[in-house]
Structure 1
């Protein structure tokens, strides 16, 4: 039988660490455009209580999304031990293309995938570069797309990357700016014949794009005379939180049930992370759907405390850290069943059940 298998992974985290204390001199405004009266110390303390974010990584000014995507991709290619010229697809999940650090100009033509293919030096003109614009679930959706292509028999190897420099797409006068960060993660995905089912066992995606479309979007700064970019992430945190708790656990349960794997045999749940409180709640609700109230919280590793919300890079980075045994005591074993899941702008949700070879 034909299986879709991850054969290599890599990630890139910028060296520049930005701590919560670095926001002490910021001017924060509310949704009405009025400066918040609380001290920044109070604002930051409340922020950390909710999100658990202590620090995040920002890319150096000379690095663009396509640069950090290329670094992660090169590491995945080397890990897989493949010839880059054998790749049929380069799929790059991102949200803002390349953003200039100074002027915050968004540039995505040619596509980020095309730029990555160029920077990797791939000459094969049968290798197709695609950008996946799907919010935070984009990297997982890239895997799902490649899997469909593999099952059609028209391709055998794909490079799936998630990369963003969200620190350049935030409003410095919005408290939510402290959530977002930069990073990149990548995998090599291959179609492999096998005698038993491995790799992707099941998957699903939903998209609610009516009122939900406004939960995450771009808008002007909260500060009326801000002279920076007019393209800034705006997140209606409460709406996102409520939507995620209502929809994500139910979708993940459906994907697990469709995989034929008992929930008690799921070893890890790798979720996109915007804030710790939301992820804890989603994992708890997922267990409750199976009438389980007492469980090992290590089933859902967390990186948001030190890395912030890196959007499409969160899950692939976490996957690679665990695969390389660089995330505490977390590790994968042959035969493990893992869930990859994400929710984000759209609003889009997806999940995959994957069996480690």
Structure 2
């Protein structure tokens, strides 16, 4: 493989680097691929900025390998455009499309454009602009969208432009919840994350989403649902244990130990290869658990893994869950 043209190696590595979670894995490749990946990772950077009152406010560039941040406008301008592969835009209000376009065009070689919506409203012009971006990768919503914003957001949904959605559980209800279900059934979409700072959140619709999976499992094959809120973990356990769910944590752990099976290496390799399961990484990963329901051709399967550690480490040092992870179901509700 090391005898193939350098341009081909470069293209393969660039494809691997399209997903934020892949660089550390790409570095482990052998030969020319590994060398080029390690070189690329040394220069890989993200750009973060805020759009408010129709202006792009001062942001920063951060190199992933070192965590170094560049904040002065002059130094940011001097950063080679090809180094910045991930752009994050924090949208504070219904900013016009020209401000967002300015942020996007500043680093035209980015393979991801991610938007954090910090307002309940969005403008039609912004939606039209976002739909024209070559790769609207992830949308993050931390406030419940108003009815007009939901109608406008449908354009991006219909255009199949969004690959990942991160949402505050308290904002995921009503029309917003219906949007998540539509996205989960789209082929390009692969991850829904329900994240609550501090782990709280009383409205996470995890049980409803799991019931939706039971009814539409074929359409949801290979999809990720990431849950980081206490109520969501409780609902997952309720769904798995059905009538056996108890207020006694030890009883629940005992029930889960009987219900869930630890996946062997062969199965972990399969879901890594076909469903990219190893793109989700952890500080201290659990092993991969398997939950099955139904029989014969109607059988459905969930693969479950979770964080077993408390401290955080740089993203490039995190590891995926696999057959060598910790078998520690009692930690599922703690992390």
- Superposition TM-score, scaled by structure 2 size: 0.28
- Superposition TM-score, scaled by structure 1 size: 0.27
The structure where strand makes up a greater share of residues is: 1
The structure where helix makes up a greater share of residues is: 2
Which structure is higher in RCO with an 8 Å CA cutoff and minimum separation 6? Answer: 1
